[in-house]
Every structure is written in C-alpha cells, then in structure tokens.
Structure 1
Amino acid sequence: MTTDVAARLDALESRLRRLEDEREILQLITAYGPLVDAGRADEVAALWTEDGVYDIDEVFLGDQEAIHAMVLSRGHQRWIAGGCSHFLGPAHVTVDGDEAVAVCESLMVTHGDDGFVVRRATANHWQLRRTPAGWRVTVRTSRVLDGRAESPALLAAGALGERP
C-alpha cells in the first residue's frame, strides 16, 4: 500500500471514529428524556459515570446513586403520574479524543387541569468521557433560561466545545 493510500485510509478511519463517537453521544443524550419520563432509574443513572454529577439549579446530584434516587423520588414520580415530558432539543457535540462536550436546550412539559404547559426551559451543558462501557456523562450542568447570565454562558461554552 502506498503512503498516500495509507494516509487517506487513516484519515477516513479517524473521520468515521469521530462520527461514531458523535452518534453514540447523541444517542446517550436523547435517551435521557424518554428514560426519566418512564421512571427507569437504573437506566438513567447508567448514563453517568459512577461519580458523575448532575448539577441542576436547585439540586446537586453527586453520583449515580443520587441520580437513581432522584428518578425514584416522590416528587419525580408525581410528575410522571401527572404526565410530563423532558424534551431535549438537538445537541451540538464536540469530541476531543476520549473527552467530549455537548450542549442542548430542553423543555419540561407537564400536564395539568388546563392541559399541557411548559414548566421550564433549560440550558444543558454536558461533559462526557469514553469508558470501557462506551460514552458516559461526567458532569451535566443545567440552568433554567430565565434571564440570568449563567444560562446563555453555558450554551455558548458548549457550542464552542468549552467547559464552563
């Protein structure tokens, strides 16, 4: 094989690996909404590394066990029983070797006596790592989009492939 063909093959393999990584990360992120709305605590927690963090405005979940407990909590189970959807928009993913950053916006839609309402719109910044089991979340930071400066800063950082 000539050097030119070998170089082209290496470049092609590298591009394919990046696309496969991006797709796996997108699959992981988009699984969150359906799994959390179905109350699948084991599967939701497994999206994170064991020491993975989910930092939400009013709640800090410091590991898989805490994330698992949140899904099974009385409050979250009430959302499920009443009807809710955690809808995550398309994510922008930046892969850098075995680390990645992603960003997306999400809506939490709930059902009540007056029909469906958007309960919150949120900026989501994801930090991920390739593990032997595949890509997993190391840190997810979520801030409500209510005019505070922190929320759009998270969006910009993620879109630029940066950590906040």
Structure 2
Amino acid sequence: MKENQVLRTLEDRLRDIEDRLEIYSLIAGHPLSADTGAGYYTRQVYVEDSVFDRGPLPGAQGREVIAGFIQKPEHHQAIAGGLAHFTGLPYVEIRGEEAFVTSYLQILTPDITGEERELPNHGFSKGYRIHRVLANRWTLLRTEDGWKIKIRKLIPIEGSTDATDLIKQGLEAFAEKAV
C-alpha cells in the first residue's frame, strides 16, 4: 500500500470522527434549546426549507416556523412548569453529504400531585412523570457551515407500528449486511 493511500484512509477516518462529534453536539443541543426557548439555536441548526414532521401533532415547514414552536406562550408555560426533554445517545449514520440520526426522546414534567419523598443526600421531591416517549429520525445535510437539519420526524411510541418503523430505519444498514 502506498503512503498516500494510508494517509487518505486516515483523513477519511478523521473526517468521520469530526462529523460524528459535530452531529452529536448538534443533536445534544436540541433538548437544551427546547427547554430554554432558544429559537436562535433552531435558526442556526436547521436549513431554510427544513421540515418538522410531528406525526399526529401539527408540524411545520421552514426554519422560522420551526423556531416559532418554542417561542409560543404555551411552550413558555411548559418551561415555567418544569419541562425537560431527555434524550438517549443517538445512532448516527453518515452517507456522504447526508447523515441520518435515530434517537429516543422523553418529555418529563414535575409530578405536582405526587407524594413528596426523600432521597438520601438529594433532598425531597414529588418526583417526575414521563409525559411522552417519542422516536426521532433526523436527516442532516453537510453545508458550508457544517451539518444542518433538513428533516426531523418525531412519532410518539404508543404501540403503533409507525414509531417502530421509524426506529427500524436506524438499523437498515445492518439489515442490508445480514442478507
């Protein structure tokens, strides 16, 4: 193997690592922006003609409209009530200039009617309740300014095959190799 072939392989590997770190950071920023009403974050990470498909709930098209979701008074009321978006580590697939991210999202809220209990060394709390668990599928594009969100599809996990099918998309590359 020639030296420049090894160097190219190392460049490809480094680019993959840098891409993944950028994508992980982009996706990790979503809960923080949603829980603080940071519309400026949404405007920076979505492409102009992006799509937010919320399954059975009203969705949005366009970066400004999507950013407007977290600017609504109802959303700020949820934030004031203790809204917390909690995500797991996303599964990332990079295919050239596109990337696909599959992840889970839990929406948590304080349990204001719960019984107060103590956790040693952590104080008292009425606890939290899981309001909803959702499946996320993000389509990202590589742009001059880094990775940006083109499409986000979000479906509640409530026993429907829609959510399961969305999650399965994250494993398609493995299924193709298994054949």
User: What amino acid does structure 2 have at the position aligned with 1:27?
Assistant: S
Give the distance between the partners of 2:172 and 2:84, measured in 1 at CA: 28
The equivalent residue for 1:84 is 83
Give the distance between the partners of 2:19 and 2:171, measured in 1 at CA: 17
Give the distance between the partners of 1:47 and 1:160, measured in 2 at CA: 26
Give the distance between the partners of 1:27 and 1:69, measured in 2 at CA: 22
The equivalent residue for 1:94 is 93
Which of 9, 12, 16 does residue 11 from structure 1 map onto? 9
Is 1:139 aligned with 2:151? yes
Which of 31, 35, 41 does residue 37 from structure 1 map onto? 35
Task: Please say if residues 101 and 161 of structure 1, whose CA atoms lie closer than 8 Å, have aligned partners that are also in contact.
Answer: no
What's the TM-score once normalised by structure 1's chain length? 0.93
Aligned-pair distance for 1:112? 4.0
State which drifts further: 54-63 or 101-110.
Answer: 54-63
User: What amino acid does structure 2 have at the position aligned with 1:33?
Assistant: P
Taking only the aligned residue pairs, the percentage that are identical comes to: 29
Give the distance between the partners of 2:88 and 2:31, measured in 1 at CA: 10
Give SS of 1:46's match: helix
Aligned-pair distance for 1:19? 1.2
Give SS of 1:72's match: coil
What are the superposed Cα offsets for residues 6-25 of structure 1, whole Å, 9 maximum, x if unpaired? 11000010011011111111
What's the TM-score once normalised by structure 2's chain length? 0.85
Task: Please say if residues 128 and 138 of structure 1, whose CA atoms lie closer than 8 Å, have aligned partners that are also in contact.
Answer: yes
Task: Please say if residues 93 and 161 of structure 1, whose CA atoms lie closer than 8 Å, have aligned partners that are also in contact.
Answer: no
Aligned-pair distance for 1:161? 5.3
Task: Please say if residues 102 and 161 of structure 1, whose CA atoms lie closer than 8 Å, have aligned partners that are also in contact.
Answer: no
Give the distance between the partners of 1:116 and 1:107, measured in 2 at CA: 12
- Give the number of aligned pairs: 160
Task: Please list, as runs of the form range in 1=range in 2, the aligned pairs for 1:51-90 lying within 5 A after superposition.
Answer: 51-57=49-55, 58-90=57-89
- Where structure 1 has 5 or more consecutive residues not aligned to the other structure, the ranges are none
Give SS of 2:134's match: strand
Task: Please say if residues 82 and 112 of structure 1, whose CA atoms lie closer than 8 Å, have aligned partners that are also in contact.
Answer: no
- Where structure 2 has 5 or more consecutive residues not aligned to the other structure, the ranges are 114-126, 175-179
The equivalent residue for 2:140 is 128
Q: Which has the larger radius of gyration?
A: 2
What are the superposed Cα offsets for residues 125-147 of structure 1, whole Å, 9 maximum, x if unpaired? 00000111110000000000000
User: What amino acid does structure 2 have at the position aligned with 1:105?
Assistant: Y
State which drifts further: 126-135 or 106-115.
Answer: 106-115
RMSD of aligned Cα (Å): 1.4
